[in-house]
Structure 1
Amino acid sequence: MSEQGAIAADRQPAPGEPSARDIRLVIAASSIGTVFEWYDFFIYGTLASLIGKAFFPADNETLQLLLVWAGFAVGFGFRPLGAILFGYLGDRLGRKYTFLVTVTLMGVATAGVGLIPSAATIGLAAPAIVIAFRILQGLALGGEYGGATTYVAEHAPVEKRGYYTSFIQASVVGGFALSVAVVLACRYLIPADDFAAWGWRVPFLLSLLLLAVSLWMRLKLSESPVFKAMKEAGTMAKNPFVESFTYPGNKKRLFVALFGITAGLTTIWYTAFFSSLSFLKGPMRVDATVAEITVGIAGFLSMGFYLVWGRISDRIGRKKPIIWGNILALILLFPAFWAMGELANPALSHSASAAPVVVSGPDCRYDPFASEQATRCGRLLQDLTTSGVPYALETSDTLGVAAGSMALPLDGYPWDDAAARRTALQTALQDAGYDFSPQNPPLANLIAIGAVLLVLGMLSGMTYGSVAALLAEMFPPQIRYSSMSIPYHIGAGYFGGFLPLIAGYIIAKTGNAYAGLWYTWVFVAIALVVGWWGIPSGPPTDFDDSSESPA
C-alpha cells in the first residue's frame, strides 16, 4: 500500500483532528526537511578525504583522516547543546517555528563550508572556520530530530504512530544516500582534477537550494495540535530542561532512552553506512566511485526497512524489534564485515594469510595523532597502517620487517620522506604478493557486498525504525521535545559521532581493519541489556502520567 493510501483512512477526522491531507503534508514536509538537513551534515563525511587535503593537510595520511573525523565528531559533540537549546524553544514556543530555525541554520552553515578558502590560502584560519561551521551544524541537528519527530508523532494516531514517524527515521538514511548521489553526480559531471581542486565544494553550495525547498514546504505547516492544546490549557512547562530531570520517573526514562535505545541504534547506523564506506575505500582499496555507488544504492534500498519495522511496531510493540535487532547485530556484525572484506579484496585476505607481515624491533611505538613518528619502527607502522596492511609486532633488538618467510630490505630506506617511504614499502610488499592497485570487484561480488550492506541496513531498521514513536510515547507532552532530544543527541552525538574517530584510532593502533568493530559491539551489548530491562513492553500507548514505568 502506498503512503497516501495507508494514511488516507476511510473514517472522517474528529473536530480539530488533522485530516488525511494534513497528515500527508506533515509527513512529507518533515521528512524532506530531515533528508536535506542530514544531507547537509553527512556531505562532510562523504567528502572526508578531499576535506582533509583542503583544510587539514598533513604528511601523515592517517593523521589527516583522523583530523577530518575529529571535525566530524565536533559537530556531533554539540548536538546535545542544540537539543537543550532548541528543545527548550520547542517546548516553550512551538514545534513548527523551532525546526524552521534549525533547518535554516543548517543550510547556511553547510553552504559556508563550501566557501572557505583552503589552508594553503589562509593557513590555520581554514580549519578553525570549518570547526566553527561544524559546531553550528551540530547545534542545528540537535534541534531538528526532536522537532520533526515530535511534530509528526503529535499528529499521528497511536495505532499508526510507528509507521508515520518511521518516515523521519528513513529520511536520515535518505540524507546519507542523497549526499552520496550528489557527490557521484558531481564526480561524473566535473573532470577529476577539477573536482579535487574545487568541484567538491559544489555539493556544499547546493544546500542553499535544498534549504529553499525545505523552507517552502515547512512554512505551509500549522502548529502541532498537542502543543496548541497545551498552550490553550496553560499546561506548558516553565523550564523544559530542568523539568526533564525533575519530572517524576523521568530520570529512569532518560537513562533507558540513552543507554537502552540510542546507544545501540546510533552505533549500528554509523557502522552500517559510514564505517562500511570507509572500510571499502580504505583498507579494502575499492575504487572510490565503485564503493560510493554500492553503499549509496544499499542505503537507498535500506530506507524501506525503516518503514516496515515502524509499521510492524504498531502491531507487536516497540520493544521486540529493537531487542531482536540488537541480538542479531551482536551475532552478525563481525561476519558481515569479514564477508565484505573477502568479496571486496580477496587478494588482500589471501596475502595477509599466506605472507603475514611481522614487524620486529625496539621502540615500536606508533602514535596515529603524531605528524611524524619518533622512531623508525613507528614510521614503519605508520606506513603499514596507511597502506591498509595488517601486521603483528615482535620485540627485538634489531629493526626488521618480514612478509611470511621473506625479509623486506631496509637498507637505503627513505626514513625522512613519508611519500617515498610508503612507495618503497609497497614495492617490497608487492614482491611478497600484496596488491595495492585500486580494486574493481566483479559485478557478482558487488551484488553480494550490496546484500551484506542490506543485512546491516535491516539491523539498523529494526533498532531505529520505531524509535521516534517510542521516544514520543515515553515522555510527557509538555517536556517531550526536550526530554526525547537530550538523550537521543547525547547518544547519537557522542556514541555515534565519535565512532569514526575512535574506531579509526583502534584500527591504526592495532593494524587490524576489523578491530574498530569492537566499539560498536560493546555499545550494542550495553543497549541490549538496558533495553531488555527498561524499554516498555506490550502494545503502543500514549504517555501515561499515572505510571512510574519508563512509558
Structure 2
Amino acid sequence: MAGTVIGEGVVEKKSHGLVIGAASAGTVFEWYDFYLYGSLAGFITQHFFSGVNETTGYIFALLAFAAGFAVRPFGALVFGRLGDLWGRKNTFLVTMLLMGLSTFSVGLLPGYGQIGVAAPLLLVLMRLMQGLALGGEYGGAATYVAEHAPPGRRGLYTSWIQTTATLGLFLSLVVILVVRSMTGEEIFKAWAWRIPFLVSAILLGVSLWIRLRLNESPVFQKMVEEGKTSKKPLTESFGEWSNLKVVLLALLGLTAGQAVVWYTGQFYALFFLEKMLKVDGALTNTLVAWALILGTPFFVVFGWLSDKIGRKPIILAGCLLAVLTYFPIFKALTAAANPALAHAAAAAPVVVVADRADCAFQFDPVGKTAFTSSCDIAKSALANAGITYRNQAAPVGSTAVVRVGEVEVPSFRGQGLAKADFDARKAAWTKSLTETLHQAGYPPKADPAQVNRPMVVALLFLLMLYVTMVYGPVAAALVEMFPARIRYTSMSLPYHIGNGWFGGFLPTTAFAMVAATGNIYSGLWYPIVIAAVTVLIGLFFVPEMRGANIDD
C-alpha cells in the first residue's frame, strides 16, 4: 500500500512538473518574441523610421513598441472568451502560433529604404498581432497552472509563470549579445539584427511540441462534464457590476502598480542606461542580464512567501518601496554608470534660458516641420547630446541662451533663413556648444573603464527585487479573485490593461516627459504616481484572497 502511495505521489509530481514546465516554456518564448523589439528599438528606428528626424524616429519606434501593448486588452477579450468557452490548452496553443509567425515575419520585412512608408506600417501590423497573441497567452498559462496546483501551493506554482517574462527578456538579450559578438557591430547594424527574430522559428517549434503533450485543465474538464461552463463569458465578466467591480479593483489596486514597477525595473532601466547615460549597448545588455540572473529566483521566493502571508502585502510593499526609492536609485545609477556625466552635471549644470513662447514640443510625425526658433535649436541640440538641463524663463522676445556652469552660449534665430544657410549656421553653433560642454566635463559617451559595474548590477538587482515582489504573487492573486467559469476572461483584462497600457506606455511616456522637461529623472514621476495610487486603493479596497476555493 505504501509503495502505491509513493508511486502515485511521484506520478503527480512529474505531472505537475510537466504542467509548469510546458506552460512556462511557451510563455518564455512569447516574451522572448515580444521583447526582441524593445531591445532592438534603436536598430528598428534606423531601418523602418528613417524618413523622419532622429528624435521623432525614436519616438515612433517606441510608439510601435507600445502598439503591441495597446492591443493586449483586446487580445485578452478575444482569447479570454475562447479560453472560457473551449478550453485553456487549445487557446494558448493558438496564441503561441500567432506570436511566433508575426515575430518571424519581422525578421524578413524590408526596410524604409526598400518599400517606403509600407515598411513601418507592416511593422506596426506585426506588433499588433504580437500584442493580440500575448493578450491571450498569459491568462491561459496562469489559469492553467493555478488550476493544477494543490491547495497551499498556488503562489509557488504560478510564480514559475511569473519568471517567464524576465527569462524571455534575458533570452532575447543573450541571443542579441551572441549575434553581435559573432557578426561585429557594423554587420549587426546593417542586417544581422534580424537574426534573433528569425531564430524564433526554432523556439516556436520546440514550444509547440512541448505544449501539445498537455491535457486540459482539470477544473475546466470538470465544468464541461457538469455543464457549468459560461455561455457568455464577456457578458458575465463585464456586464454584471458584481464582477466588473472586482475587475476594476484588480486593475487599480494590483496590476497598474505592478506593471509600472515591472517595466521600470526591467525595461526602463535598460533604456535609461543606454539612451540617457550613453552606456555602450552591449555593456548595457550584459549588466542587465547579470541583474536578471541574480533576481529571477526571487519570483519563486515571493510566490512561495505569498502562500504563507498573503499576496497583497508583498505586492503593495514592492509598490511602496518603488515610490520611496526610485529617485535615489536612478541618481546613484548615473553616478555609477557615467561618473563623468554625474560630476559635470553637478559642477556645471546646464540651463536653457528662453522665452517660453519660443519653445515648441518637438514631435514631427511627417518630418516636414522645421524647428528654427532659438529655444528649439538649443533644446534639440541638448536632447541629441543626451544632456539634462533646467529651464529658466527669459523676457518675452529674447534670444535663448544655453548656460553651462558660468559659460553662456547664445543661440540664434533661424526663422527666415534659407535651408542651406540655416543648416550651416546650426552645425557651427552645435559644434560650439559641444566644445563648451566638453570643456565643462560632459562626455559624449560613458567611458567603459569608468563604469562601476558591481554597483550598477547591485542597483539593477534592487530594481529587479521590487519587480519580483510585485510580479511573483500577482498571478495567484488574480486567479483567486474570479470564478472558474469566467476566470480566463475576467483576469486577463485587468492584467493586460495594467501591463499593456499602464506599463506598456511607460517608456514612451517617460521619454516624452524627459524630452519636455530636459530632466533625465522626470520620467520617473509616471511610475511613482501610479504605484502610489495602487498602494492606496489596494490597501483599503482589495481583499486578500489567499487560499480561496478556485474550483467553482
- Give TM-score scaled by structure 2 length: 0.93
1:264 aligns with 257
Over 3 Å counting, the alpha-carbon distance change for 1:11 and 1:285 in structure 2 is same
Over 3 Å counting, the alpha-carbon distance change for 1:231 and 1:367 in structure 2 is same
SS in 1 for 2:448: coil
In the alignment, structure 1 residue 525 sits paired with structure 2 residue 524: no
| CA distance, structure 2, for counterparts of residue 412 and residue 536 of structure 1 | 60
| CA distance, structure 2, for counterparts of residue 61 and residue 424 of structure 1 | 21
Pairing 1:504-523 to 2, within 5 Å after superposition:
504-523=511-530
Deviates more, 1:467-476 or 1:248-257: 248-257
1:136 positional shift: 0.2
SS in 2 for 1:159: coil
In the alignment, structure 1 residue 380 sits paired with structure 2 residue 378: yes
Over 3 Å counting, the alpha-carbon distance change for 1:59 and 1:114 in structure 2 is same
Deviates more, 1:336-345 or 1:367-376: 367-376
Deviates more, 1:213-222 or 1:62-71: 62-71
Q: What is the identity percentage for the equivalent residue pairs of Structure 1 and Structure 2?
A: 45
In the alignment, structure 1 residue 434 sits paired with structure 2 residue 434: no
| CA distance, structure 2, for counterparts of residue 212 and residue 422 of structure 1 | 52
1:42 aligns with 35
| CA distance, structure 1, for counterparts of residue 30 and residue 109 of structure 2 | 20
1:536 aligns with 543
| CA distance, structure 2, for counterparts of residue 399 and residue 460 of structure 1 | 42
In the alignment, structure 1 residue 395 sits paired with structure 2 residue 394: yes
Q: In the alignment, is the contact (CA less than 8 A) between 2:299 and 2:469 conserved in 1?
A: yes
Over 3 Å counting, the alpha-carbon distance change for 1:322 and 1:283 in structure 2 is same
2:216 aligns with 223
1:305 positional shift: 1.1
Q: In the alignment, is the contact (CA less than 8 A) between 1:406 and 1:432 conserved in 2?
A: no
1:349 positional shift: 1.7
Over 3 Å counting, the alpha-carbon distance change for 1:237 and 1:273 in structure 2 is same
SS in 2 for 1:222: coil
SS in 2 for 1:117: coil
1:143 pairs with 126, 136, 143, which one? 136
Over 3 Å counting, the alpha-carbon distance change for 1:342 and 1:501 in structure 2 is same
| CA distance, structure 1, for counterparts of residue 51 and residue 476 of structure 2 | 45
Q: In the alignment, is the contact (CA less than 8 A) between 2:299 and 2:468 conserved in 1?
A: yes
1:164 pairs with 157, 165, 176, which one? 157
| CA distance, structure 2, for counterparts of residue 427 and residue 350 of structure 1 | 17
SS in 2 for 1:19: helix
Pairing 1:15-414 to 2, within 5 Å after superposition:
19-57=12-50, 60-247=53-240, 249-362=242-355, 363-370=357-364, 371=367, 372-393=370-391, 394-396=393-395, 397-408=398-409, 410=411
- Give TM-score scaled by structure 1 length: 0.93
SS in 1 for 2:403: strand
| CA distance, structure 2, for counterparts of residue 11 and residue 465 of structure 1 | 31
Q: In the alignment, is the contact (CA less than 8 A) between 1:316 and 1:538 conserved in 2?
A: no
CA offset digits 1:246-274 (Å, max 9, x no partner)? 45631221011111111111100110011
Deviates more, 1:63-72 or 1:529-538: 529-538
Whichever residue aligns with residue 404 of structure 2, its letter is: A
1:494 positional shift: 0.6
1:118 positional shift: 0.7
1:3 aligns with none
| CA distance, structure 1, for counterparts of residue 98 and residue 405 of structure 2 | 55
CA offset digits 1:425-458 (Å, max 9, x no partner)? 3223112221113431546x11111111111111
| CA distance, structure 2, for counterparts of residue 315 and residue 431 of structure 1 | 58
SS in 2 for 1:157: coil
CA offset digits 1:480-525 (Å, max 9, x no partner)? 0000001111111110111111100000000111000000001101
Deviates more, 1:419-428 or 1:397-406: 419-428
Whichever residue aligns with residue 523 of structure 2, its letter is: G
Whichever residue aligns with residue 538 of structure 2, its letter is: G
Q: In the alignment, is the contact (CA less than 8 A) between 2:273 and 2:337 conserved in 1?
A: yes
Whichever residue aligns with residue 429 of structure 1, its letter is: L
CA offset digits 1:96-127 (Å, max 9, x no partner)? 01000001100100011111111011000000
Where structure 2 has 5 or more consecutive residues not aligned to the other structure, the ranges are 415-420
Whichever residue aligns with residue 282 of structure 2, its letter is: T
Aligned residues: 534
Over 3 Å counting, the alpha-carbon distance change for 1:410 and 1:539 in structure 2 is closer
| CA distance, structure 1, for counterparts of residue 24 and residue 241 of structure 2 | 32
SS in 1 for 2:247: helix
SS in 1 for 2:423: coil
Over 3 Å counting, the alpha-carbon distance change for 1:485 and 1:498 in structure 2 is same
CA offset digits 1:451-488 (Å, max 9, x no partner)? 11111111111111011111111100000000000111
SS in 2 for 1:158: coil
Over 3 Å counting, the alpha-carbon distance change for 1:143 and 1:442 in structure 2 is same
Where structure 1 has 5 or more consecutive residues not aligned to the other structure, the ranges are 1-9, 546-551
Q: In the alignment, is the contact (CA less than 8 A) between 2:399 and 2:411 conserved in 1?
A: no
Over 3 Å counting, the alpha-carbon distance change for 1:539 and 1:495 in structure 2 is closer
SS in 2 for 1:265: helix
Over 3 Å counting, the alpha-carbon distance change for 1:422 and 1:36 in structure 2 is farther
